[in-house]
Amino acid sequence: MSTTMRALVKAVDGPGLEMRQVPHPVCGPTEVLIKVLRTGICGTDLHIWRWDDWARKNVPVGLVVGHEFVGRITQIGASVVDFKIGDLVSGEGHVVCGHCRNCMAGRRQMCAKTQGIGVNRTGAFADYIAVPQTNVWYHDQTLDRDVQSIFDPFGNAAHTALCYDVLGEDVLITGAGPIGCMAAAIVRHAGARHVVVSDINPWRLELARKLGATATVDARSERLAEVQKRLGMHEGFDVGLEMSGNPSAFREMLSNMCHGGKIAMLGIPPGEMAIDWNQVIFKMLTVKGIYGREMYETWYKMTAMLQSGLDIKPVISHVLPAERFREGFAAMEQGDCGKVVLIWAEG
């Protein structure tokens, strides 16, 4: 094994990323070393690429970025017993402390001291990554490699979409980004009646229809009240999944919920966001924040849904060799895209 490898690095204190040779990661006693096969580019990676305020504050210059990946284990630490060389795996991107109250109670996704792979610790856009054994998800070998590489954002979609009962319910999803589109597929699979998806990008609305939206709304030209009429809805949406991070999308959602409606918030607003709290109070709404995935119930459900016929593959719009990462980031900057997957190795 050579002592250096390829990696996408935040090489300078400014926009962009560079493909560099970096030292090969060392596999600690409780870690596994994974040869990376495919990676997905996340919106977070785009923030790091653009080097916006959030990225500048949170990401150290010199970091190997990326957290969505699938690969094969090539080495196991001395204390690792659950995995073996050759296993096909992904990694949960949140490395938790293991000792706080939530971690001890098995609510690892609620750890307050969580570290992000490719955000605060060495990432996956590389030939190899070392990951704690507690973060490894063993894949059903028969699933599609590209789909395996995006289990992380698929998990954001699944965790949000499954946090309320949607069987027979009317669901509104604001934001037809990759996560909103996957959420549309999931709530359809889980038995929702109307699955209405809004966005301001017609290309993405088309993608949402491909994934299973029963109606789409261009928020620039149509109001949700009209859509409700068009669909013969009378009382508002039962479940709202906010997946745009856009304050006006959230306000539009609030005014179109039914009494007792339930909202899950995944989209990250750019800053503080004012809303009409009367909507929440008098409609008796539940509003719940969602971060990450459940460890590892969401991972289990994702696998089970794919095994029972859910198809999220159409959300992947680009599959490129890792060297062409610039094209991948350009597609995401431009916006007419779903998930962008980079190939590091076959296997």
- Altogether, the residues listed in the chain come to a count of 347
Q: What are the CA-CA distances from residue 251 to residues 164, 247, 256, 270, 287 (Å)?
A: 20, 6, 9, 15, 13
- Among ligand NAD, Zn ion, none, what binds residue 97 when CB lies within 5 to 8 Å by partner kind? Zn ion
What is the DSSP secondary structure assignment for residue 109, as one 8-state letter?
G
Q: Up-side HSE of residue 343: CA atoms within 13 Å toward CB? A: 10
Active site residue 47: yes
Residues in contact with Zn ion, shown as a per-residue x/- string from 46 to 85 under the rule CB under 5 A:
----------------------------------------
Q: Fill in the amino acid letter for 225.
A: A
Which residues is 36 bridged to in the sheet?
71
Using the rule CB under 6 A, is 248 a contact of ligand NAD?
yes
Using the rule CB under 6 A, is 200 a contact of ligand NAD?
yes
Using the rule CB under 6 A, is 135 a contact of ligand NAD?
no
Q: Which residues from 266-285 bind ligand NAD, rule CB under 6 A?
A: 266-268
To 10 degrees, the CA torsion angle through 95, 101, 106, 111? -30
Catalytic residue, candidates 3, 24, 47, 114: 47
Using the rule CB under 6 A, is 199 a contact of ligand NAD?
yes
Q: Which residues from 20-59 bind ligand NAD, rule CB under 6 A?
A: 43
CB nearer ligand NAD, residue 148 or residue 160: 160
- Among ligand NAD, Zn ion, none, what binds residue 322 when CB lies within 5 to 8 Å by partner kind? none
CB nearer ligand NAD, residue 43 or residue 77: 43
Catalytic residue, candidates 4, 30, 44, 216: 44
CB nearer Zn ion, residue 111 or residue 124: 111
CB of 177 to ligand NAD, least distance (A): 2
Helix (H, G, I), strand (E, B) or coil at 135: helix
Using the rule CB under 6 A, is 254 a contact of ligand NAD?
no
CB nearer ligand NAD, residue 27 or residue 253: 253
Tell me which of 155, 236, 292, 328 binds ligand NAD, using CB under 6 A: 292
Compute CA 344 distance to the chain's CA centroid, rounded to the nearest angstrom: 20
Active site residue 303: no
314/209 Cα distance (integer angstroms): 11
CB nearer Zn ion, residue 33 or residue 103: 103
CB-count burial class (<10 Å; 0-12, 13-18, 19+) for 28: middle
Using the rule CB under 6 A, is 328 a contact of ligand NAD?
no
The two tokens of residue 12 are 């300078």
41/187 Cα distance (integer angstroms): 24
Among candidates 168, 156, 337, 331, which has minimal Cα distance to 237? 168
Catalytic residues: 44, 47
Which residues of the shown chain bind Zn ion in the complex (CB under 5 A)?
A: 96-97, 100, 103, 111
